[in-house]
Amino acid sequence: MKTLIFGYGITGKAVENYLKNKSIEYLIYDDNKNVLLDIEKELLFDESQINIIDEIVISPGINPGHKQIKNFGTKNKIITDIDLFSREFKGNFIGVTGTNGKTTFVNLLTDFLISKGIDAVACGNVGVSPLSINFEDKDFAIVELSSFQLHYALNLNIDFGIFLNFHSDHLDWHRDEKEYRKSKLKLLTFLNSYENLVTGLNTLSKKHLEDILNVPIDKDKDELLMKSYDFDDTNFPVDTCLSFIKIIEKLDINPDEGYEYLKKEVQSEHRFEFVDSINGTNFINDSKSTNFHSMSVATSRVRNALLIMHGITKNVPEDEINISDEIKKILIPKNMNIDIDVLNCEIVKLDSILSLETYLEEEYQNFESILFSCGGSSFSDFKDYKDRGLFFKKIVNNLKENTR
């Protein structure tokens, strides 16, 4: 029997190296035939070989409605690279999920543990398959788990679980919000102990967690931490701060040390990142805000601001938009499928996001802040959110050069 690598991108190539090292026979399938041009023909999968496939290691971006998945039926076991990693890893597996802030949290916690002399590594949906790292000698793996990965994951051995928050997202991939929530909550089924679950402040996630666990979430703990620490002194959302303090407490580390660490750390690039100030106007790059909730939260952190939206909205309902009244004007590219009306706020349609610099040259000095918080995924015009964020930062740099 053989393993099928379903999807030959970053994850698929990491799986291939792992299988080679384990001397496990495999085949490869990808919809994009161009990525398979250099693969030996005997490694390419065709449907006649379905009976010799034992496990299918699937890349997380592949939609569950894919025709090949339907062909597999239930005879072939579908797993992820995270499943393969979990079989081998002997250290502490910390799984992190939620709608917003996962990557920031994973990197923040990893760097903090390393600063304490603990051998930790960040992996998963942060862009690094855990199979690509030398994990044998690691004490902790902090693994970002997307709803896509959790949807397909079969058997993970998670020591500590972090559920940051829950809001609508990815409804172009999941059938509906119920299925999206179910994928996120699958984290709980992999926990070794519910005592090792950490949640953020979001009440929707707490309600559903309470229903599943059949025990109340400790809201008093949240209130106590909010009174003990002024999270406004940090650069991070409340969900991030609360979850960070609670997990390091569970790891027997003084929470005061965690709070001091939060105060001195800055946000990750492209997540409410201060870019520059030009003639008194602050430019903020929040390209990583790819859904309406994240964007709405960002608008509450600025004053007298121009908001720039962009991207594919992933079928998320527009009634989830909650724009701060500090937003005085919103720029929306014409290819963004959205129609909103915000009280006391002017809506301007741009012919193209590529004309943004020309517009800002004339307008930016009318605002205290220019907020590039997109509310949609980047793929309509950019390679990814990083590419989009760099586009905005280049515009800011050009505007500054023109003032000299």
Q: Where are the domains of the chain?
A: 2-79, 83-264, 273-402
C-alpha to C-alpha distance for 66 and 49, rounded to whole angstroms? 18
Instruction: Give the residue-averaged pLDDT of 290-307.
Output: 89
Q: In this structure, which amino acid lies at residue 379?
A: F
Query: What pLDDT is stored for residue 67 in this prediction?
Result: 81
DSSP state of 145: -
> pLDDT of 309-351, one tens digit each?
999 887 777 777 888 899 999 999 999 988 888 888 999 999 9
Q: What is the largest distance, in Å, between two alpha-carbon atoms of the chain?
A: 68
Q: What percent of the chain has pLDDT over 70?
A: 92
Q: Residue 171: pLDDT above 90?
A: no
Contacts with 303 (C-beta within 8 Å, 6 or more apart), sequence order: 326, 368, 369
- Confidence band, pLDDT 50/70/90 cuts, at residue 385: very high
77, 2 contact by CB (below 8 A): no
Mean pLDDT computed over every residue of the chain:
88
Query: What pLDDT is stored for residue 174 in this prediction?
Result: 58
Q: C-alpha distances in angstroms, 208 versus 171, 186, 212, 216?
A: 19, 12, 6, 10
Task: Tell me the pTM.
Answer: 0.74
CATH number assigned to the domain covering 273-402: 3.90.190.20
Helices 219-228 and 238-250: crossing angle in degrees, nearest 10, is 100
C-alpha to C-alpha distance for 336 and 330, rounded to whole angstroms? 13
- Confidence band, pLDDT 50/70/90 cuts, at residue 277: very high
C-alpha to C-alpha distance for 74 and 294, rounded to whole angstroms? 37
Q: Residue 168: pLDDT above 60?
A: no
Among 22-26, 174-178, 179-183, 282-286, the least confident range: 174-178
Answer positive or negative: Cα dihedral of 307, 311, 316, 318.
positive
Q: In this structure, which amino acid lies at residue 52?
A: I
Burial of 211 (0-12, 13-18, 19+ CB in 10 A): exposed
Give the angle 62-270-253 at the CA atoms, nearest 5°. 90
Query: What pLDDT is stored for residue 207 in this prediction?
Result: 64
Fold assignment, 83-264 = UDP-N-acetylmuramoyl-L-alanine:D-glutamate ligase (3.40.1190)
Helix intervals (H) in 163-271: 177-189, 203-213, 219-228, 238-250, 255-264
Better-predicted residue by pLDDT, 394 or 168: 394
Query: What pLDDT is stored for residue 71 in this prediction?
Result: 76
Structure tokens at 277: 């100030």
Query: What pLDDT is stored for residue 218 in this prediction?
Result: 66
In the three-class reduction of DSSP (H, G, I as helix; E, B as strand; rest coil), residue 266 is classed as coil
C-alpha to C-alpha distance for 58 and 11, rounded to whole angstroms? 8
- Confidence band, pLDDT 50/70/90 cuts, at residue 122: very high
Structure tokens at 112: 């903090």
| Segment holding 81, helix H or strand E | helix 81-88
- Confidence band, pLDDT 50/70/90 cuts, at residue 74: low
> pLDDT of 97-107, one tens digit each?
987 788 889 99
Per-residue burial over 272-281, b if 16 or more Cβ lie within 10 Å, else e, is bbebeebeeb
387, 353 contact by CB (below 8 A): no
CATH class belonging to 2-79: alpha beta
C-alpha to C-alpha distance for 396 and 4, rounded to whole angstroms? 46
311, 380 contact by CB (below 8 A): yes
207, 185 contact by CB (below 8 A): no
Query: What pLDDT is stored for residue 217 in this prediction?
Result: 66
The reply to whether 273-402 shares the fold of 2-79 is no
Instruction: Give the residue-averaged pLDDT of 378-388.
Output: 92
Query: What pLDDT is stored for residue 145 in this prediction?
Result: 93
Query: What pLDDT is stored for residue 20 in this prediction?
Result: 95
Structure tokens at 98: 């939620």
